[in-house]
Amino acid sequence: MRLRLDHLILRAADPAGTLAELSRRTGAPMLADVEVVGGLASGIVRAGALDIEVVRIGREPPPRPRGYGLGFVADAGLREVAADLRARGFPTSPAARGVSGEGASRRSWRALQVKGLLPDPFPAPTSRRPPGRLDRAIEAAADAMSRIPALARAATGRAGGSMVVVTEYEFDAGAWRQRAGRGPEVTAVHLGTGGHRAAWERLPLAGDAPLHLHDDGPSGITRVVLAGGDWPAPQVFTVGDVAFELS
């Protein structure tokens, strides 16, 4: 089982404004306008082979946008992913389902969270035991709660300081992304591990992940390097606590 980097997650009080700034300054096309999904608000721009997702989550949004976390996809189903990661010592949550859009534009996916990679993770229940009936029961309960807005908001009221997820798409994500266009390529993602670098080195990552891990300094995504855009000159700008380098 191998994990491939799929999207970057920024957390902001104003996802729409943050996405608009990213799109304007980098040329990244808008992939999904901000929509409330399962108690959080989320929108996405497309940057080469990766998505940059901006979420509003938690009762107390951060004063500035920050690099909240990372999303991966795997070459195996989520139950196999959970079993593999738990055997390696990583606690994972049961998979939760998300649904966005309606009719022909409806999209659904399932995602599990991985703890032990960044400090203060989103407070989802996790386990190191092999996946079994308890996981299936929790998944069913979470699916039911996600359909009731008040319960979904309550479940996401505490955001913690980070999130690492593995997603399994239940629609043709490749075709959906292709319609938006690629935009500039993400060539490097600088990630402060908050002292968890050794755990990242145990993670079964595909060899092409553009991650640069740092144990010192602030945790989370701190710098994103992009290339191939139509920019008049190289530049660096910041969106909250995250630096974007147009190389």
Q: Cα separations (Å) of 40 from 13, 43, 121?
A: 11, 10, 16
Q: Which residue has the tokens 């738990």?
A: 86
**Cα–Cα distance between 111 and 164 in angstroms, integer?**
10
Average pLDDT of the segment spanning 33-38: 86
The residue ranking higher by pLDDT, 136 or 141, is 136
Q: Cα separations (Å) of 110 from 97, 100, 107, 168, 201?
A: 4, 12, 11, 5, 25
pLDDT at 100: 86
Among candidate residues 235, 230, 173, 158, the one with its CA nearest the CA of residue 7: 173
**Cα–Cα distance between 192 and 197 in angstroms, integer?**
9
pTM of the model: 0.91
Least-confidence region, from 115-119, 152-156, 176-180? 152-156
Please, which pLDDT band fits residue 215 given cuts at 50, 70 and 90?
very high
The residue ranking higher by pLDDT, 97 or 32, is 32
pLDDT at 155: 52
Please, which pLDDT band fits residue 149 given cuts at 50, 70 and 90?
very low
Per-residue model confidence as pLDDT tens digits over 155-179: 566 789 999 999 999 999 999 999 9
Average pLDDT of the segment spanning 89-113: 88
The residue ranking higher by pLDDT, 128 or 144, is 128
Asked whether the beta carbons of 34 and 172 are under 8 A apart, the reply is: no
pLDDT at 142: 52
The residue ranking higher by pLDDT, 149 or 116, is 116
The residue ranking higher by pLDDT, 156 or 180, is 180
pLDDT at 97: 86
Residues 6+ apart with CB under 8 A from 18: 10, 12, 54, 65, 239, 240
Q: Cα separations (Å) of 162 from 26, 133, 194, 216, 222?
A: 24, 28, 11, 16, 13
pLDDT at 133: 62
Structural domains of the chain, with CATH: 3-182 (3.10.180.10)
Please, which pLDDT band fits residue 139 given cuts at 50, 70 and 90?
low
For the record, the structure tokens of 102 come out as: 């309606």
If you average pLDDT over every residue of the chain, what do you get? Answer: 89
What one-character DSSP code corresponds to residue 93? Answer: P
Per-residue model confidence as pLDDT tens digits over 39-93: 789 999 999 999 999 999 998 989 999 999 999 999 999 999 999 999 999 999 9
Average pLDDT of the segment spanning 94-100: 87
Average pLDDT of the segment spanning 180-201: 96
pLDDT at 144: 39
For the record, the structure tokens of 247 come out as: 């190389």
The helix (H) or strand (E) run that includes residue 21 is helix 15-26
